[in-house]
Structure 1
């Protein structure tokens, strides 16, 4: 019987899908469901022989690849707690996660072993005289999944730390499984799918994409890092039916010269999350890719996607969709979160349900600041809902610009600027102003060979925006700062301007 737990997910997939290919690493290796189960079982056995046990926190710091997938499911079947650490994090950042989570073990590539001084056991991927090779772990005795309860702690996901030290959001087996099963159901994932993604597996979005393979029996095609030309090529070469990414990945593919010759005919839908995406770019993707682009919303504190669209619903560009089953949402008044905002008015998105974290790891103060007594988690996103309940993210609460007493949402300005045919990417951030308090500035990446001026864009904005919303300055740049998951960092733009 299907249980709401991740500990036996890979094993159940092996029993059901056997020799069917589960994972493809283009040009490197492919593994079947049975092979992954065997490798994870032997690695779990080796972990157990070295003293690791159920409940131990184990930090997983590897790039996307078969080793990450096998190690993840080895920890799961051992009954351990997976603590994912994005591969682009520095050694200092990973060390903080190791210490804060009180991890028993750390898994890293051999070339990074020397960067870590820790009391935790360290397992490496390649040669390292002072530590065990990860490959030796594959010689352990095969271990069946241990029995775990759905409510047991399974993973601790650390936030990006944009407002201080990262916090570890705890997640149970059933919490993660709720996002996994809901995403698979609403996106109509199935055994015939070939899913292409470069989303980092440690991120909640990438993690759900990876685990959906084991739930439905689809084939996952992944690369360690995203490259627009390679992604366009692989969609055609691997006959991908589903491409999953963040907005910047789609922007880069739309702007790449090879898109004119790309074979995208196998795609039946794409998904996008992690950040709001201008409707002009959404429409451009659906037109060029020839399939629906399903927007979704989630966060570290809710285990993965929690609000999204079905490919069978009528398109609503700009909306993140409807809540998944068992997941509650409400739009709270910005001045008093105990009250709902007026119908159609913007307010803070509040969420509650099985997939919401029960709290931050050994941080009661942060937990109480974020989750109220009724179990509602304050997301920090400003949103509104239409008459049918579809949710639209207006912006991040902390990114709102207050200019001369008016609230200006960067995402609204980005929507308008992205409509200009010469704009490839745009981000809007506030900067201090003596007269108005703050003013909006637009940072624009033009399309290749485009002729575009600040005057052109200001005039374009005047056609669509109230005068107080128009950016007071346009700065042309070659690229925009992004975090390890590809999300554009407005905060970095603000800080860069403040230091000038």
Structure 2
């Protein structure tokens, strides 16, 4: 029985030593390669004074070195702190201070930012730079990798801290969710089980490794001996090429990735015949996009839901028991999910009402690092975690996410959920992608605005979009304005940032419905 993710590579290398585990743009590695390299990093960290329980941070784009350090630091007993590469210098400095990082590994592109951030950290924080770049005050990754391979791994204690992953934070400072070894390894195993992963799978993914979804996509595949093709950044045409080139059995992504691939010219000639299923999480996905991808790939698209505080997935569809499209499935085995009343979370929502998703079980975080007050706001004494997601349960027990509580738009006293409008507008044949957010209004408080990326060559107008929405939505739910944009603001994992949408453009449409300017 594995008690923590530090055992994943030794466990898999013992069974599949010479099998290809990882393929990146510049390196291919077997399970034996990954196991040996991560053991060298573990020994190097110990030799440099990193003690069990200390924090090791990772700050770079996807790369093979990131994954080697992730497993090497865990073997050394360290706590992993994955940092979003989109954070500013101030934000990185805050995270390093807050989690008391003893060492940080950084990519060449982020090295200068990192060095500046470390200057603001009071504790001693060792800096290691990936690649060949030499940076003053930092050590090169190759120096650590040149150490001896032998390292005696002590089985991790399941209840000990494994990772500190910081939430994006919409206000104030981000909070560090502390996950135990038990939570992380359980999520790997349960995800592999629900999605039917085996050693015969080859997964293509561009999900960021620092993100819990990306981390689980990689490590749940490795746990069973499957192969991962890891992209540094998502590119629609290149993704389609890699699926065909490697005869991928799975692709894993967020809704925006699927929408982009479906709109890409390269899709017409793409060979997706090897896919046996795909997964999608991060945000709600329009039914029209699900149906189009399944029709084009001729394989099921497995919807899932999760969050940082759960170390990855919380619910999903079992591969061989797919529920209705548009649903996030059912709770992982051993995990409890209930819907709490939106006004009183201690009570359950009525059977026919929306409620807040609350979760209890082995995958729930230990709490926010060094922040008891924030922990008490979301985690009660009985172990129930408030997620901030509004959902409903259908008659067969499948869960459907309505939207984030914080994203809800209140127009003239009516509650409107952006995701519901997005599902409808995305069904218009001339809409490639859409996101909805509230904009201030002096009379009604907020108005729903749809930010639309047109299909190439389309001249669809604002009035046509609004009329289309009106055919499917109650009058109060229709978007009151449309802004045509060339792109949508996204996080590093590809999730659309609704709160940033209002910055895209504030130029009103003219009487014809066309925009005065596009972003």
Q: Normalized against structure 2, the TM-score is what?
A: 0.94
Asked whether the equivalents of residues 58 and 81 of structure 1 are also in contact (C-alpha less than 8 Å), the reply is yes
Q: SS of the counterpart of 2:367?
A: coil
Aligned residue for 1:42, secondary structure, equals helix
Contact 1:155–1:171 under 8 Å retained in 2: yes
- Structure 2: state its 5+ residue gaps: 509-519
Q: Which residue of 2 aligns with 1:136?
A: 143
For 1:378 and 1:229, how far apart are their aligned partners in 2? 39
Tell me the secondary structure at the aligned position of residue 324 of structure 2.
coil
Hey, what's the Cα distance between the residues in 2 that align with 1:249 and 1:42? Answer: 36
Q: Which runs of 4+ in 1 moved over 6 A?
A: 497-500
1:77 matches 2:75: yes
| Match in the other structure for 1:37 | 35
| Number of the residue aligned with 1:431 | 439
What is the CA–CA distance in structure 1 between the aligned matches of 2:24 and 2:97, rounded to whole Å? 32
Give the CA deviation at 1:497.
Answer: 6.2
- Give the SS at the match of 1:311: coil
| 1:351–1:378 Cα contact (<8 Å) kept | yes
- Partner of 1:491: helix, strand, or coil? helix
SS at match of 1:414: helix
Please say if residues 287 and 423 of structure 2, whose CA atoms lie closer than 8 Å, have aligned partners that are also in contact: yes
Partner of 1:123: 128
Match of 1:154 among 157, 162, 165: 162
Q: Is the 8 A contact 2:192 2:221 kept in 1?
A: no
From 474, 488, 496, give the equivalent of 2:496.
488
Quick check: 1:23 aligned with 2:26? no
Q: 2:340 aligns with which of 332, 341, 350?
A: 332
1:6 aligns with 2:16: no
Given that residues 332 and 341 in structure 1 are in contact (C-alpha distance below 8 angstroms), is that contact kept between their aligned partners in structure 2? yes
Q: Give the Cα–Cα distance (whole angstroms) in 1 for the partners of residues 218 and 60 of structure 2.
A: 14
CA distance in 2, matches of 1:332, 1:110: 46
The equivalent position to 2:53 in structure 1, one of 55, 75, 100, is: 55
Q: Which residue of 2 aligns with 1:249?
A: 257
Report how far residue 496 of structure 1 moved: 5.4
Residue 104 of structure 1 aligns to a residue whose secondary structure is strand
User: C-alpha separation between the residues in 2 aligned to 1:185 and 1:244?
Assistant: 16
| Structure 2 Cα separation of the partners of residues 110 and 463 of structure 1 | 51
Aligned to 1:210: 218
Deviation at 1:66, TM superposition (A): 1.1
Give the equivalent residue in structure 1 for 2:247: 239
2:409 matches 1:411: no
For the aligned residue pairs, the C-alpha RMSD in angstroms reads 1.4
Native 8 Å contact 1:431 1:498 kept in 2: no
Shift of 1:64: 1.0
C-alpha distance in 1, partners of 2:266/2:176? 41
Question: What 5-or-longer segments of structure 1 have no aligned partner?
Answer: none
CA distance in 1, matches of 2:504, 2:288: 28
Deviations 1:347-367 (A, max 9, x none): 111111110111100000000
Question: Could you tell me how far 1:123 is from its partner in structure 2?
Answer: 1.2
- Any idea what the Cα deviations from partners look like across 1:437-495, whole Å, max 9, x if unmatched? 21111110011112311111111111111111111111111111111111101101135
Are 1:96 and 2:104 an aligned pair?
no
Mapped partners of 1:170, 1:101: distance in 2? 10
What is the match of residue 233 of structure 2?
225
Whether the 8 Å contact between 1:426 and 1:442 is mirrored in structure 2 is yes
| Contact in 2 for aligned 1:60/1:68 (Cα 8 Å) | yes
C-alpha distance in structure 1 between counterparts of 2:371 and 2:507, whole Å: 33
Deviations 1:52-71 (A, max 9, x none): 12101010112211101111
Q: What's the secondary structure of 1:59's corresponding residue?
A: strand
2:165 is paired with a residue of what secondary structure? strand
Matching residue within 448, 454, 457 for 2:462:
454
2:297 to 278, 281, 289: 289
Preserved CA contact (<8 Å) 1:414 1:428: yes
Give the Cα separation in 2 of the matches to 1:372 and 1:449.
Answer: 52
Q: Out of 371-380 and 103-112, give the one that drifted further.
A: 103-112
1:262 pairs, out of 240, 264, 270, with 270
Q: Per the alignment, in what secondary structure is the counterpart of residue 368 of structure 2?
A: coil
